[in-house]
Amino acid sequence: MKQKRGKVRGTVGALAGLAAAYAAGNFLTADLVAKKYSGKSAFDIGAGNPGMASIGSELGSGPAVITLFGDAFKTAAAQWLMIALSSPALPREDAAMLAGTAVTLGHCFPATHNFRGGKGVATMTTAQMIAWPAWGIPSALIGLGSVIATQYLCIGGVAIPAVFLLGALLTKKSPLFVLCAFVNLAVAAYAHGPAIAGIPSGETPKTDVLRAFEGVADKVSVAVSQATDGVISDVTENVLHEFVLSSVPSLQHELNARLASLGDSLDHAFSQLTR
């Protein structure tokens, strides 16, 4: 009876977690970042896509990184909440996968924005890496490699869930897990399909990911350098300040004493010569 009650409670918790995950997906980090840095909605700048790539191309690497971390955080938070609420009705990786898919659906089809949202690459990738790190991380790396090789973000956007679904099928994951992986791939194909179709005609622009990474690395390097210089300056200033306050007065006192002694010696020598 106790075990049955636990499963019922877990099932109710899973439904609540599912709703919370979809709601979290509706929070579009890119829109908040765009309003902060440009005063406009993410839907009104660039291609109108509220995602990291669009923010990066229009506002720079700094806002893009903030967008990425915001989308990853909302996904991870929703997954951890689902794991806590759905136990013992759902295994951990099924709970994490279900929540991650719900966040991606909320991000791509947000009810708060007339079901028009981003493409879900960050949410989907984060969800897969947390739900099944052993395959989620390699899937993300393969997707990144495909973007570097082709310079098309859309290729990576579809490659990541495709490789992940293949792994889920080969290792015979649970039906719920495989269903979520399939939904992720379907959402990715829907989101990136037009861009992929535009590759042969040249309508889809290329993106030099390595150069973008170099830009982020340069900014981090400058920030660290400035922070380090500030620390060094503060330390130098403090050392000099302490030297002036403590060492200089004592040196001045000693110098005065020596000058007085030298004056006495000269007076004595002069008196001897004048006798």
Cα separation values, 17 from 75, 102, 105, Å: 12, 9, 14
User: Which parts of the chain are beta strand (E)?
Assistant: none
Provide mean pLDDT across the span 168-197: 97
Identify the pLDDT of residue 66: 94
Confidence of residue 175 (pLDDT cuts 50, 70, 90): very high
Q: What count of other Cβ atoms lies within 10 Å of the Cβ of residue 18? A: 20
Residues 184 and 36: their CA atoms lie apart, in Å, by: 30
Residues 138 and 163: their CA atoms lie apart, in Å, by: 9
Residue scoring higher pLDDT (169 or 206):
169
What value, to the nearest 5°, has the Cα angle with vertex 72 and ends 190 and 172? 65
Lowest-confidence region among 80-84, 143-147, 179-183, 208-212: 208-212
Q: Name the pTM for this structure.
A: 0.76
Identify the pLDDT of residue 230: 56
Peptide linkage before 88 cis (omega within 30 of 0): yes
Distance linking the first and last C-alpha atoms of the chain: 122
Identify the pLDDT of residue 239: 47
Residues 113 and 43: their CA atoms lie apart, in Å, by: 10
Identify the pLDDT of residue 244: 47
State which of 48-52, 104-108, 233-237, 249-253 shows the largest mean pLDDT: 104-108
Q: Name the percent of the chain lying above pLDDT 70.
A: 73
Residues 37 and 83: their CA atoms lie apart, in Å, by: 35
Residues 49 and 56: their CA atoms lie apart, in Å, by: 11
Identify the pLDDT of residue 240: 45
- Res 212 pLDDT > 80: no
Lowest-confidence region among 44-48, 84-88, 194-198, 212-216: 212-216
Lowest-confidence region among 40-44, 81-85, 140-144: 40-44
Lowest-confidence region among 71-75, 107-111, 166-170, 213-217: 213-217
Give backbone dihedrals phi and psi of 239, rounded to 5 degrees, phi first.
-65, -45
Q: Which tokens sit at 138?
A: 């390699």
